[in-house]
Structure 1
């Protein structure tokens, strides 16, 4: 009989946890709560360091230029231009004499951006980070150094904090974040004079949806604006599908406990304010970009966003490429798309899957599944750096 109270306590503990879980889901249907939960933009994660002094994040003196650019709808977006270390070393004595420790009021007049603008062989990564934090939060400074390291005299990086993040003005939204990305491209192309053929759009986590959204919008122009590469790292297919599989911190599932109750899951997803439909945008991007170089990267040990999302992105891209050749009525099963991939294995580093060129009509669609790095550290791996450099043709 003494065992009975233990079961009673366990029952009420589980009941309380269930109540808390459903209360949390209920709160997420409130627009302001949902926005803060998705973007987590108020959590800076870099309070103890000053974003306008990048040396505090491990960069060399004046290697990074902090500045603002304006969006088409009037927001001021904070950005870092990261000079490749090899170029920095060649010009260090001149660079350190510049006025530092502040936001560049005239970024185009800085030696750093002049070195980018005046080098016809320079490449530029426009980097879109994940939710929460700033350009300087967590591993992100290491991301920037690692991505540039594969070719330390050629790869410059423009990293931005979206509206409502860090020191940028405004409030985040799906349309707004894509506008921030498009405006970053316009700054690079129109003010710096860097042709899209020397620019790669790279996003991680939430940033992959922004990357695809920006590329989709610019490809829809006439003529389409295409880039050296469009690269996603730890991407997801759509916000709805992400919530069904996402684990906060890799441990706490959002909607997975309701897998046995699909009607409840459907009810909750109907309250989503923003769809972030990457697979839909990706299909349009493939259709409108005859020279698309799409690179999908995901870690097999990503416990935040399962790598199966990368499969979904690959399948939709492949299906869209096939439709442009064989007609809009062509349908392809997921298994057919995956079976048609050409697989190359790089030992314990990664596996490369490419869509056959004869089915892409000039497009290049590749998927890299790497074996190390999880959701975040994957960006810092040497393998990822090499993949990015190769996507640039370096």
Structure 2
């Protein structure tokens, strides 16, 4: 039987435990490192000559989400579909609106929300809350009469892409 050198074993164990401790310390603060919310309003749809409606949605856990509904520039109830836009992990919808500002002119409705802690939405950002927030937005869209009979697309940028994939996997 091979004999282990106790000093090597102790060094390897110490290194593993140190690595685990560092990983736990990093992961415990991930939310504050991962999310970069901003409450500044950079631009509103009206400054881009877009018709819009401010939407406020209440979540099941008592937060209020703010979003924008941008109706398609098409004859009434004749939109080509609706795009649910989920922005990235930094700033808020007002800094990302240019990504979807062209869609209403092309005949698409656009709905976008700020996750908790972003823009005018209440609360503090975290991944579990953001997942609930995007589902809250989808539930609102699912009840909107001018959306239900047209295609619905999820467009996610950065963090919003991951949230959109998670949302789509639950809503098939």
Q: Same fold by TM (over 0.5)?
A: yes
Quick one: structure 1 residues 153 and 40, their matched pair in 2 at CA, closer, same or farther if it must change by over 3 Å? closer
Query: Does the CA-based 8 Å contact 1:201-1:211 persist in structure 2?
Result: yes
1:195 Cα deviation after fit = 2.3
How many Å separate the matches in 2 of 1:212 and 1:164?
21
2:94 matched residue in structure 1: 136
Determine if the alignment matches structure 1 residue 59 to structure 2 residue 17: no
The 3-state SS of whatever aligns with 1:171 is: coil
Higher relative contact order (CA 8 A, sep 6+): 2
Query: Does the CA-based 8 Å contact 1:82-1:144 persist in structure 2?
Result: no
Determine if the alignment matches structure 1 residue 40 to structure 2 residue 51: no
1:72 Cα deviation after fit = 3.2
How many Å separate the matches in 2 of 1:35 and 1:82?
30
Give the unaligned 5+ runs of structure 1.
1-24, 91-114, 220-394
Alignment of 1:297-336 (within 5 A): none
How many Å separate the matches in 2 of 1:207 and 1:69?
18
Query: Does the CA-based 8 Å contact 1:71-1:180 persist in structure 2?
Result: yes
2:26 matched residue in structure 1: 29
The 3-state SS of whatever aligns with 1:194 is: helix
How many Å separate the matches in 1 of 2:149 and 2:115?
21
Determine if the alignment matches structure 1 residue 217 to structure 2 residue 170: yes
1:78 matched residue in structure 2: 66
TM-score (norm 1): 0.35
Q: Deviations over 1:60-102 (max 9, x none)?
A: 2x61211211223332110011233x44xx7xxxxxxxxxxxx
How many Å separate the matches in 2 of 1:82 and 1:160?
11
How many Å separate the matches in 1 of 2:133 and 2:60?
8
Residue in structure 2 matching 1:69, options 52, 57, 62: 57
Query: Does the CA-based 8 Å contact 2:79-2:150 persist in structure 1?
Result: no
How many Å separate the matches in 2 of 1:153 and 1:145?
10
Alignment of 1:1-394 (within 5 A): 29=26, 31=28, 33-41=29-37, 43-44=38-39, 46=40, 49=42, 54-55=45-46, 58-60=47-49, 63-84=51-72, 86-87=73-74, 115=76, 119-137=77-95, 140-146=96-102, 148=103, 152=105, 154-192=107-145, 194-195=147-148, 198-219=151-172
Q: Deviations over 1:183-217 (max 9, x none)?
A: 11111112445227511011011111000111112
The 3-state SS of whatever aligns with 1:67 is: strand
**Runs of 4+ residues over 4 Å off in structure 1:** 25-28
Q: Tell me the matched-pair count.
A: 151
Query: Does the CA-based 8 Å contact 1:83-1:156 persist in structure 2?
Result: yes
How many Å separate the matches in 2 of 1:30 and 1:216?
25
The 3-state SS of whatever aligns with 2:171 is: helix
TM-score (norm 2): 0.74
How many Å separate the matches in 2 of 1:68 and 1:183?
11
The 3-state SS of whatever aligns with 1:29 is: helix
